[in-house]
Every structure is written in structure tokens, then in C-alpha cells.
Structure 1
């Protein structure tokens, strides 16, 4: 059995039927019909066939999906146009009117909108649990619960969900589980190893790694992925050929990038803990994280995502100081998204303000003095130095 680093270079080669070392971009919407009627019928009806019509499949998409499935340890995978296309397609392929969904309280904001606003429009009820308290999940299970939806580490507060507990409980109750693994990446965590049924990613982030594409991935059994594929045919969230090719290229260096990012993030988090103007550091790789031991049990690395809370006499001063730091950083760009080779920083209370009430922000652990940091592959001393000079301007 080959190692991840080797799989990233060589998995899925069977879909490249040319003599090109790097697969070509299949920039076509449709393909010539096979002269054999049986073969054409197969292409038209087989799930994810790469040579019929682009919404059905694409050779580079097939190669990339096989690679991601290999990384996650699942039977199959499906590429989608965005991360939210992956989330919504996966969820809508599972639930129907009258079903109940249990989701954790802290989520990516767009996923929260799907859960809070979209699903109820289709007669699906959603209730929430505290992901740091397993007993709170038990309390939300109902006879009609069809799905448990989790995200770990969560965005933006870096809370950890006990995947083994969720997986075992769901199997016992006959409930399907979906985990958003974007923050971790399959280098740091494989939810399927803990009994999770379906894994979704915003491949825009770590999998692509260069902030030059948008994409999503759904991973699971062949049956689950084919069901999601059929739903995607109606929803229309197929990934464009060029983005599929860019994603495949980005995946080649995933292991190298994530290892460097992990090391940089830990060094930066450790430095933050020593700084008097930092009130709190949230990084699951630190022993001070309340769920550090759980993170150690289910993660191989602790990602490049961390949050810090700027100190201040009250939240207004914290907000002002956070904005001063944000505007003073020179290497860290103030930009949405995460997981690229470049370091980014955002102010979650501002970003989440559109989707969350003050009460919801409080429940999600979002403070006005909080900064969410996505650490890149730059040298750790330069990253620390950038925050040092920015904090010095307070």
C-alpha cells in the first residue's frame, strides 16, 4: 500500500487516456456518441460517467475525485462547483419532508443559513447540540432523525466534535452522518475512520491550496455518492473543467503544504500565548485548548486555523484594537477564505454579522475582539514578526 505523498501524484491515472504526463483540460460540454449502442447507453445512464455530457462527468473530474476518495479512505467521491454545493447536495440527497436533522451550533455561516432557513422551507426540521458535550447530542435524537451534520474543527471557534461518538451513536440509531472536513483536510483527519458516512469539503481551501478556484467534494460509499450525483444533476452544481484541472494540480502538493502550515500555526499559536495583548488563543494543537486531548485522539495534525481574542477593558475596546491590528498587518491579508499558501486574517464578528444575531454570535463563541487566522507556508519568524509589529501599534 502506497503512502499519501505517493497517492497524491499517482492516484486516478487510469482516467488519463492520453500519453500526456499531465492530463489535458477537457474543455468540452459534450462528447461524441459511441458507435456501439450499448456503450452509448452505458455512458448516458451510468453514474459519473466521464464521457457523455459535462454535468454528468469529465475525465479530469473523475481522476481528481478518485484521488480525494483515496485520501479520505472512501469508495468514491464527487466534485461540485463550490463547497456549499457539496454541502447542500449531500444534505438534500439524504433528507426529505418530515425528516429531522441534528446539527452542532457552530458552523460555517453559509451552512448555518442552509440549516436555519433553507431546509425548513422543504419541511425539514433542524435542532442543535453543543458539539463539546456528547450528552447534548443524545438529547436531540428523535424517531424521525435522518441526519446528524457536524463540522470539526468548527468555523470559526475551533471547537472539536467527538467523531467516534457521533459515528457510533448514528450507526446504533440508523442515522446518516455528514462531516465537513474542510478545516482539517484528509492529511490531518479522516472522519470515515471514526464511522462517519459522508465527508464534504470546500476544496477551494486546503485541497486546492492556491486561492485560484472554487470547488467542493462529497466522499462516501459508491451508493451514497451516486445518490448525491443524481441530486446534483437536478441542482446543476457540476465543477467546471478548468477548475477540476486546477484542483488536481493543487492536490499534488497537499501533504507538503499542510505539514508546513501545521508547523507554522503551532509556532504562531505558542507565541500568541506569551503576548500580554492577547486575551485568549484558540488552537486545538495547544494543551490550553479545552478539547486538546480529543483533538490528539482523532487528528494527525492540528491545521493552520486559529483564533485570537485581543485584550481590552471591554468589548468596544477589544473591537477597536482588533481593527487596529487588522489594518496594520503587512503579510497577513484581510481576505475571506482560508487554506491557501498565503496567510489570511478576518474579523469573524463582521463577517458573520449578516447571518447571525448577537445572541447567535455569542452561542457560536464569536467575540468582537476575535480574529480568525489562516496560516500559510511563509517562514514562521516572518509571520510572528508581522503580528508583533501590528500589536505594537495598539
Structure 2
């Protein structure tokens, strides 16, 4: 490769060392363990004196290739692959926090992340405070003497709010906090938080990394000394990614840029079309000039991503009926698929929040999250428009 290969070339040509069989693509290493030449090599590997594969819960050539690739694309020093995206979230927080520590988190987080912060970590006396993404001037007041880290999503799920990564990096540095960014919606193709000062970046590889709804996976990449703590925790608690899923994900990343280009162009076209629709109260998409953080999104993202959030007239009932009327789009618990997916967060992913909690993060009763797929954009737009028409209440 050239001395400075582009993203697409790195995504395709980063590969584990070929075996004597001269394979063009990395083989599957479906083995639970690995052989040692002798007792001394076995001892040295277990003592971490020499590198090598011991056991696939620790490392495997397929997971190593995936990690190396994502580290390169994100500009990270090291990484670890987990069985799911939520395993990446929980493992990172549990590995870095001790009893008595405090976490500062943006209020707009994925529903399961909210549960980890509010239900699971408090069992070990790890507390948190939520801060409003729209009121960053007040964040410093929420820092406590025991605050260890800052956890954010940008773009956020599902309201696609944008946080200023450059500001976040400076804020974390000023207050001595570990900055963790969930980069799932953007992927490293659209955004690299480490360039702005993030210490760790998390992904649900289940989403755009795979891109076709086939496998589960998670990734933690960033500063080596922090990843070492995550790796130690994961090595003994066991949330390892399977070699097969790692192989699938590494191959999928070869087409990530191509797919994200289409996701983004389709999403922007849909967002622009729906902005003037009479049955849509609000359209939020990072690269629409009407988005509150449009200028920030343009500064730190290559394109606006594949998620469009709309608020339909008629509240919860209209939102749920809209889902019943789609014909092309899927109703499923995923996003980032080649297929367009629609969900109603107020009654599904964020149903366990109170009405007030949902309102605080912009999840209105009629909010619909559209994960815009790779179908022809005309067919996507037609399906959404016909579902809006078919779900419109009949006036007496």
C-alpha cells in the first residue's frame, strides 16, 4: 500500500498474515484453543512475556484482524472485540470504574445503556449524573470529586442530536475525565472522535459495521492503557466475540464506505422530502440546515448518517399505526441494515423511561426512528409517504 492509503483501501487491504496456503482472504479460525511448541513457550505466553494466541476467549486471528482494522480506521492505539454492542458498553464501564466512582453521561443514551447506568452499576456503588446536551454550560456543576469518566453518544439514539466533539475533548481534558464516545450511528467512516480528544470509542458492530443484520458484535478502541483494563476485565468475565462473527464483520467493513455513502444520500433525500410534509411535525437529520446542531455536524462528520427521526401528528396512536402501514420498511429491533427499518421508540426501545424522561431527551410520543436502508430512494420515500397517508386519522 501507499504511505498514506485512503479509508476505503485500509478497510479492504488490512488483513491478517497469510498462511502457507496463500489464501486471498483470511480463513476462519474455528478453534477454541491453540497449540504450544513446548512447555517454556506455554509458560511464557501465559505470563504475557511473548505474544501469541492462547485461547479464543482471549484472542483469535479473526478477532485480531477485525480489531486491527477498526483501530486503524478510528486512529486508535488498541482495541478489544466483544460479543455485542452492549457488552462493549458494560465491559468498558465496569472495567474502568470502581465502587464509589461517579459517571457523567449525556441524557440522550440508548435504552439499554440507561438501564446499565440506573439499574446495574448502582449494585456496585457506581453512580451517575445525567447532563442535558443542550445545556453544556451547566455540565461542570455536575462534576463530583469522584467523577471518573464522561460517556456520550453523538449522533444520539434515537433523536440524532449532535454533541461538539472538539468541545467535549477540551472539557474532558480540563476536568481530568476519561471521554468515552459511542460512535455507532456515525461509524469511523463518517466520524473519528479520537481526533477530537476521545479516549475510548465504542461500537455496536451489529449495526452498520455488519450492515446486513446477520451477526452481533461490539468494539472498544482507544488509548492502550485503558483498553488494557478493558481486556483484563473481559478476559476473565468472558464477553468475547466469536471468531465466525469477527470474520463476517471484518469482511463487511470492506464495503462500509460504499454502503454509508448510499445510506447517507438516501437519508438526506428522505429528510428533505418529509420536511414539508403536512403530517410531519418535525424532521431531524444532522445534515439538514434546520437541525439545531447543523454547523457542528458539518464540522465533525463527513456526511449526516443513515438515521432520520420524524415526529408524526397524532402522538403514540398515530406513531404505532404508522408502523402497521409500512409495506417496504421492516419492523425489527435493529438499525444500520441494508433494509429500511422503522421503530417507535416511545413504545419499544425507550418504553421503560417515564414520560418526563422521554421528553427530556426529545423522544416525543409521535417520534419515529427511520434507519434508512439501501433500497432505491424512490421506493423508500413512496413507502413512508403511503404509510403516513394510510395512518392518518379519519375526521368525523
TM range (shorter): over 0.9
Match of 1:230 in 2: 232
Does residue 1:363 correspond to 2:366, yes or no?
no
TM-score under structure 1 normalisation? 0.95
**CA distance in structure 2 between the partners assigned to 1:381 and 1:284 by the alignment:** 21
Does residue 1:26 correspond to 2:23, yes or no?
no
Superposed counterparts of 1:280-295, under 5 Å? 280-295=282-297
**CA distance in structure 2 between the partners assigned to 1:43 and 1:18 by the alignment:** 26
**CA distance in structure 2 between the partners assigned to 1:240 and 1:145 by the alignment:** 34
Structure 2: gaps spanning 5 or more residues: none
Residue 296 of structure 1 and its aligned partner are, at CA, apart by 1.0
**CA distance in structure 1 between the partners assigned to 2:346 and 2:363 by the alignment:** 6
Match of 1:251 in 2: 253
Match of 1:10 in 2: 13
Per-residue CA deviations over 1:321-359 (Å, capped at 9, x if unaligned) read 222321111111011111111110001001135431222
Superposed counterparts of 1:238-277, under 5 Å? 238-277=240-279
Superposed counterparts of 1:1-394, under 5 Å? 1-14=4-17, 18-35=21-38, 37=40, 39-46=41-48, 51-311=53-313, 317-393=314-390, 394=392
- Equivalenced residue count is 388
Residue 18 of structure 1 and its aligned partner are, at CA, apart by 4.9
TM-score under structure 2 normalisation? 0.94
Structure 1: gaps spanning 5 or more residues: 312-316
**CA distance in structure 2 between the partners assigned to 1:164 and 1:16 by the alignment:** 43
SS at match of 1:334: coil
Residue 138 of structure 1 and its aligned partner are, at CA, apart by 1.5
Change (3 A) 1:48 1:103: farther
- C-alpha contact 1:205 1:338 (8 A) present in aligned 2: yes
SS at match of 1:93: helix
**CA distance in structure 2 between the partners assigned to 1:288 and 1:50 by the alignment:** 52
**CA distance in structure 1 between the partners assigned to 2:205 and 2:376 by the alignment:** 24
The runs of 4+ residues in structure 1 deviating greater than 6 Å are: none
**CA distance in structure 1 between the partners assigned to 2:8 and 2:52 by the alignment:** 26
- C-alpha contact 2:316 2:346 (8 A) present in aligned 1: no
Residue 284 of structure 1 and its aligned partner are, at CA, apart by 1.0
**CA distance in structure 1 between the partners assigned to 2:49 and 2:184 by the alignment:** 25
Change (3 A) 1:142 1:183: same
Per-residue CA deviations over 1:5-29 (Å, capped at 9, x if unaligned) read 1001111333767521111111111
**CA distance in structure 2 between the partners assigned to 1:20 and 1:369 by the alignment:** 52
- C-alpha contact 1:50 1:59 (8 A) present in aligned 2: no
Change (3 A) 1:50 1:60: farther
Residue 36 of structure 1 and its aligned partner are, at CA, apart by 6.3
Per-residue CA deviations over 1:196-227 (Å, capped at 9, x if unaligned) read 10000000001111110000000012222121
SS at match of 1:55: coil
**CA distance in structure 2 between the partners assigned to 1:324 and 1:160 by the alignment:** 29
Per-residue CA deviations over 1:101-125 (Å, capped at 9, x if unaligned) read 1001110000001111111111112
**CA distance in structure 1 between the partners assigned to 2:350 and 2:141 by the alignment:** 29
Per-residue CA deviations over 1:93-147 (Å, capped at 9, x if unaligned) read 2111111110011100000011111111111120111112221221211222111
Residue 174 of structure 1 and its aligned partner are, at CA, apart by 1.7
Alignment root-mean-square deviation, CA = 1.6
**CA distance in structure 1 between the partners assigned to 2:221 and 2:261 by the alignment:** 23
